Structure 1
Amino acid sequence: MQLLGTAVLFMAATGSVKAQSSPDFTFGVKSGINLSTLANGLIDMSDRKGKAGFNAGIFARVGSKIYFQPELNYITFSNEYTFNSKTYTPKFKDLNVPLMVGYRIIDKGDLILRASAGPDLYYNLKDQVSPVDSKYKRTSVGGVLNVGIDLGKFTIDTRNSIGFTKLNKDFGQKPNIFSLSVGYKFL
């Protein structure tokens, strides 16, 4: 939780300084859908199905051709799988903090095509019970690859977030989340 607090303070401090001193600062809101799977190391787990989820958050973008984009998002995702003839459907509600470095591939005023990547930090807000009563971890780390387009004040982003750490010590589950979101830039 300390990490999330630090990230939020960093976004606020960076935003207030850059908004006053540079035109290369953007702040906005975004929302969209997620499709997820939980990759695992168990052969006994079958019938895995990703479920649709939701994301909403805020973002800041600092820089021009090369930029830094921290975000704070609330995301939901779930998965369904069968283990020992029993079906499980863990539903995750997380705070998500991607810290991306990006590059503007095309910058034609109101039309910007960009790509970014970086670490992705998660804090699970809801306890989940998995098979054999092994709990899911509260925090996890991953990486995110993002491609987006800005059309004036509107943004459209697609991203893939790949889990690096296991969500559950007994099953080796790692999240893989594909997201599509639309946003609006206030600055």
Structure 2
Amino acid sequence: MKKLVMICLLMTIAFGASAQFSLGPRVTLVNSKLSLKDAATSVQEGDAEFGYQFGIFMRAKVPVIGLYVQPEILFSKAESTLSLNNQDVSFEFNKIDVPIMIGGKIGPLRLNAGPSLSFLTDASRSDVAGDIKDNYKNTTVGYQAGVGIDILKFVIDVKYEGSLSQFGESVSVGGTTVNTDQRTSQWVFALGFKLF
């Protein structure tokens, strides 16, 4: 995490002298779901649930080629539901998400895509006491793609985030461990404000 912050600071310094650099706060509403690539009969996907993120974004225009790079550091709270033996169980995940978007403009719209890194800080489920973080991977890699528009100093984006790596390998159902390939996906509705 310290290396990640240092990289973002170096990017800030590198582009800070340019008028094409922006920085500001970011809040998002996320609609997330735990997908089961290898589902067992006792474990089924539940409905998507809403969560939120907040943090900062930076945007720097890359000279000559006309593209921009937009890294973000976001503290995230996501919720998902699985049906375990026909009983809905809620899961809550707190993470630090770091999407790094690369994009360009077509008219007033921005099109962007890029990798998204996720660092799990804690996890819980409604039918189990205590933290269940050890049941999940600490770091996962995904991707984001979407569209955005800038209105005055406001930065508005709608993005889809998918997973490139497995988030969880198993889930406990009634004291029995069932192998599953759990992956997260979510829709991201984001609002930012350019401080400069």
Question: Structure 1-normalised TM-score?
Answer: 0.87
Separation in structure 1 between the aligned mates of residue 137 and residue 7 of structure 2, nearest angstrom: 25
What displacement does 1:35 show? 0.3
What are the equivalent positions in structure 2 for 1:117-156 lying under 5 Å apart? 117-128=113-124, 135-156=135-156
Answer yes or no: is 1:48 the counterpart of 2:46.
yes
Kindly report the root-mean-square deviation, in angstroms, between the aligned alpha carbons of the 2 structures: 2.1
Q: Partners in 2 of 1:172 and 1:42 — Cα distance?
A: 7
- The counterpart of 2:15, out of the listed 15, 18, 21, is 18
SS at match of 2:135: coil
Gaps of 5+ in 1: 107-111
Residues 80-122 of structure 1 show CA distances to partners (whole Å, capped at 9, x for unaligned) of: 111224432110111000112111122xxxxx42111111100
Alignment check: 8 A CA contact 1:95 1:124 kept: yes
Q: Residue type of the partner of 1:17?
A: A
Matched residue type, 1:94: K
SS of 2:16's equivalent in the other structure is helix
Identify which of 174, 187, 190 aligns with 1:178: 187
Q: Is the 8 A contact 2:25 2:192 kept in 1?
A: yes
* Greater per-residue strand proportion: 2
Does the 8 Å contact 1:39/1:176 carry over to 2?
yes
1:16-74: CA deviations, max 9, x gaps?
Answer: 23112x11111111112110111102042236111110111111111163011111011
Q: Distance in 2 between matches of 1:47 and 1:96?
A: 23
Q: Does residue 1:5 correspond to 2:14, yes or no?
A: no
Assess if the C-alpha contact under 8 Å between 2:91 and 2:123 holds in 1.
no
Q: SS at 1:77's partner residue?
A: strand
Instruction: State the identity as a percent.
Output: 25
Residue of structure 2 aligned with 1:116, choices 112, 115, 121: 112
CA–CA distance in structure 2, aligned partners of residues 8 and 145 of structure 1 = 23
Q: CA deviation at 1:5?
A: 2.4
Is 1:32 aligned to 2:41, yes or no? no
Unpaired segments ≥5 residues, structure 2: 171-179
Shift of 1:129: 5.7
Paired residue secondary structure (1:8): helix
Amino acid of the structure 1 residue aligned with 2:192: G
Alpha-carbon distance in structure 1 between the residues aligned to 2:72 and 2:93: 19
Q: Which moved more, 1:27-36 or 1:10-19?
A: 10-19
Corresponding residue for 2:79?
Answer: 78
1:66 to 2:75 alignment: no
1:186 partner SS: coil
1:158 aligns with 2:155: no
Deviation for aligned residue 1:177: 0.8
- Work out whether residues 129 and 136 of structure 1, in 8 Å CA contact, stay in contact via their aligned partners in 2: no
Q: Secondary structure at the match of 2:13?
A: helix
